[in-house]
Amino acid sequence: MSNPNAPLSEPLLVACLCAQWCGTCKDYAPLFESLRSEFPQATFRWIDIEDESDVVDPIEVEDFPTLLIASAGQARFFGPVMPHIETVRRLIQSQQGQSGASRLPPEIQALALRVSEA
């Protein structure tokens, strides 16, 4: 049985899907950026859904900000998250050490692969 607190062999990818016109996203950007120093083993990506539509399509992001957390190209979390630093911090911590099959749909798994490769 694996230790749920053991570090992943693959680092987490934490991607924020936002839009330039979104005021909440603009306010959230510095908070999201500050998490980089707390989780140096993770890769953080800020994805503007309009500027990087080739990566995001065909997923329709309707609520901002939306986070995608993946490891080894496998999506672990996908959904809107209020821009509260503590909430996001706990979410990232909860995904560290996770393994096994994800229950997210195939289109979200495909998005995780595209974001990982972009």
| 66, burial (CB in 10 Å: exposed 0-12, middle 13-18, buried 19+) | buried
Domain 12-117 in CATH: superfamily? Answer: Glutaredoxin (3.40.30.10)
What average pLDDT does this structure show over 95-109?
84
Give domain limits for the chain: 12-117
Distance, in Å, from the CA atom of 38 to the CA atom of 112, rounded to the nearest integer, reads 22
Query: Is pLDDT above 50 for 4?
Result: no
What's the mean pLDDT when you consider all of the chain?
Answer: 88
Q: How would you write 71-84 as a 3-class SS string? A: ECCEEEEEEECCCC
Query: Is pLDDT above 50 for 100?
Result: yes
Reported as a single tens digit per residue, the pLDDT across 58-87 is 999 989 999 999 998 899 999 999 889 999
pTM: 0.87
Residue 22 identity (one-letter amino acid):
C
Q: How many CB atoms lie within 10 A of CB 43?
A: 14
Task: Identify which of 88, 80, 84, 7 has the alpha carbon closest to the alpha carbon of residue 49.
Answer: 80
